[in-house]
Structure 1
Amino acid sequence: MTAVHDERTTTEPEIGNPVAAEPLLNHRDEEIELIPPDSLTAELTGMYTFLPINGAAFVMQVMHPVIGDVVDKYSVFRTDPVGRAIRSADSVLRWTYGGQEALEEGKRLRKLHQPLQMRNADGKHISALNPEAYAWVIATALPTIETAAPLVLGRHFTLDERRELLRDNRRIAKIVQVPMNNYPETLEEFDEYFDDFIENKLVRHPVALELIGQMRAAPVIPKSVPKPLRPAAKKAAATASVPFQNFNYLTTVGVMDPRVREILGLTWTDAEQRHLERIHRNLRFAYRTLPERLTYFPLAYHARRHHDAIQAMKVREKASAAYQYHPKPVVSQQS
């Protein structure tokens, strides 16, 4: 059984200080709030169009030197990019729609990242569970979805919606066992936190540039394809993937903060912005007309339908005899 540690007393490895044994938990199950199934977060995260937005967050994550170096050494994004993306999406969906499974997924992730430790080019010990770096992974979701709101919803979030998204972002941070000592609690604190990362901590990491380049490269052909067929398969895959690659690249780069693009040396033209808006305008129309089963990941779809079914039951309960029965007050009969 894994020991449970309170976040106030948990110690974490700092850069340059290797540790022999690292605590695996920061939060007990009863301290963690799950994502409400009727929340804005639950509405947005399960959309298929959320994937490229998540890609923008991943690029920003590897711009943190610790994450970039660890991903460079341990990640399979070069050899199995599709598999990595699928597994990443699976994990995010569990946090949001998994119920009690979200808690287990958070523990699994922290345990999975615990052995990812190394020495960087300067000879300093770094860990995937460095508190600053591990928290940044979750924090990147908020600014990317905020920037993407006009594309996904056709409008900006209201102030109350932004506060709700931050509350859910903090809930997810606790689900995946992020130490919360320095995590922003208000929108004002988050804006300062985000500005500090852009101005003082993010770098033009080679892995970030590689990920951007990978979006426009021909997809990797599985090793199972026979060698004589590989040239033709590669050509066919490259041609067929062009529309998706353009969509992925434009959405990923388009939802980045302009200052992030500047760090990476990426240009962004008015024509690209118009193209991106046109694509998502068509997608918004599709989401309004297509059945939800075709526009949401299966887990998200079934979780949302489960919630709707429960709410419908509650409405029916209020019409039952038990709710309609109003006993007459007893009148005392005194002579």
Structure 2
Amino acid sequence: MTVTQSTPGTADPVSDAAETGSDAAQTAADVAVISHADDEIELIPADSLTAELTGRYTFLPVNGAAFVMQVMHPVIGDIVGEYSVFRTDPLGRAIRSVDSVLRWVYGGTEAIEEGKRLRRMHQPLQMRNAEGRHISALNPEAYQWVIATAFPTACRAAPLILGREFTEQEKQEVFRDNRRVAKIVQVPMKGYPETIEEFDRYFDDMIENKLVAHPTALALVAQMQSSPRFDRVVPKDLVRFTNAVAKLAAVPAQKVNYLTTVGVMDPRVREILGLSWSDKEQRELERIHTVIRGMYRVLPERLTYFPLAYYARRQHAVMAAMKKREAGGNAYKIARRKGAAAES
């Protein structure tokens, strides 16, 4: 495992001597869990296809498909089943998960800190499984799988979100960014696929030899078909009323969520989970997303993107416009002419 190293000749004896107690403990913890130095990590470009798609509200049900596949890995399923609050606070868990993902993609340098935080947060999540074997949330294979699930899910969701398959260039771009995200969240990269061809073999092996119909995965699928509850979200005297309203209002959202989650799964994954999928459901899923794509064409981004994504994209657009205006300045024109003359 690669760990962050100090640059030779920059050690400060006074600072080193002062680093005691919690600081020293934090440093030791970082050495144990941090896989990539800051300068090894590439951020997700603000104008990338990944940044365009991840920020949409339609990312939520697509992300649900990835999450179900994640907990089909026995280690992740056991850890999530033991420690996650997805049963008691599903809405809060979903919001916190999306918050984290948005920071990976739109957070700038904060993305790097969020990746380190995730590794530290997961380090204590250890237990013995039903066979008495010690397992950890930072098991390299399992931790890799968490990020790997995003790539096939995005590819299978493309026809719904874009109305077409990814081009080969787009697929390469999304795969490149998947590897970037893996480093951002401190995934050990030994054995992580380096090409799409390697990924296809890796994905086939996971489906055929690793994934199971884990109780946690089945519980998640069942949860998608039940109304959200707000027992821990609103004041106690409003819980009954809020839950009643949610039960009625959630029906359309539940349908979109369930159909999208199950519809973008690889058929082999559905088979493992014992989930049926009919032509009627496929047509309904396509009709729903045809309407959603139409809405995205006419609604302002402020209404269709998560706030962080919206403002990050606006900032990038403003900065790009500034650079374009700067290039029109006379000094730039003179410099370009002199550069061209020197080359000739």
Shared topology, TM-score over 0.5?
A: yes
Q: Which of 129, 135, 142 is 2:144 aligned to?
A: 135
Are the equivalent residues in 2 in contact too, given 1:5–1:27 (CA < 8 A)? Answer: no
Are the equivalent residues in 2 in contact too, given 1:113–1:128 (CA < 8 A)? Answer: yes
Q: Which of 126, 151, 159 is 2:160 aligned to?
A: 151
Give the CA deviation at 1:225: 4.6
SS in 2 for 1:325: helix
Following the alignment from structure 2 to structure 1, what is the Cα–Cα distance between the partners of residues 300 and 154? 23
User: 1:1-335 residue pairs with structure 2 within 5 A?
Assistant: 4=4, 23-223=32-232, 224-226=234-236, 230-325=239-334
Distance 1:313 1:234, change over 3 A: closer
Are the equivalent residues in 2 in contact too, given 1:116–1:127 (CA < 8 A)? Answer: yes
| Richer in helix (by share) | 2
Give the CA deviation at 1:328: 8.6
Following the alignment from structure 1 to structure 2, what is the Cα–Cα distance between the partners of residues 230 and 177? 39
Distance 1:232 1:101, change over 3 A: closer
Q: Taking every aligned residue pair, what percent have the same amino acid on both sides?
A: 68
TM (norm. structure 2) is 0.87
Give the CA deviation at 1:5: 6.2
SS in 2 for 1:126: strand
Give the CA deviation at 1:314: 1.0
Q: 2:263 corresponds to which letter in structure 1? A: G
Following the alignment from structure 2 to structure 1, what is the Cα–Cα distance between the partners of residues 338 and 71? 68
Following the alignment from structure 1 to structure 2, what is the Cα–Cα distance between the partners of residues 217 and 5? 49
SS in 2 for 1:37: coil
1:235-279 CA-partner distances (Å, limit 9, x unpaired): 332111101011100000000000000000000011111110001
Give the CA deviation at 1:160: 1.1
SS in 1 for 2:181: helix
Give the CA deviation at 1:233: 4.0
SS in 2 for 1:118: strand
Gap regions ≥5 residues in structure 1:
7-19, 330-335
Following the alignment from structure 1 to structure 2, what is the Cα–Cα distance between the partners of residues 119 and 144? 30
Q: 2:148 corresponds to which letter in structure 1? A: A
Give the CA deviation at 1:106: 0.2
Give the CA deviation at 1:222: 1.8
Q: 2:216 corresponds to which letter in structure 1? A: V
Are the equivalent residues in 2 in contact too, given 1:5–1:26 (CA < 8 A)? Answer: no
Following the alignment from structure 1 to structure 2, what is the Cα–Cα distance between the partners of residues 169 and 102? 14
SS in 1 for 2:124: coil
SS in 1 for 2:135: strand
Following the alignment from structure 1 to structure 2, what is the Cα–Cα distance between the partners of residues 233 and 319? 56
TM (norm. structure 1) is 0.90
Alpha-carbon RMSD across the aligned residues, in angstroms, is: 1.9
Are the equivalent residues in 2 in contact too, given 1:55–1:252 (CA < 8 A)? Answer: yes
Gap regions ≥5 residues in structure 2:
7-27, 340-344
* Residue correspondences, number: 313
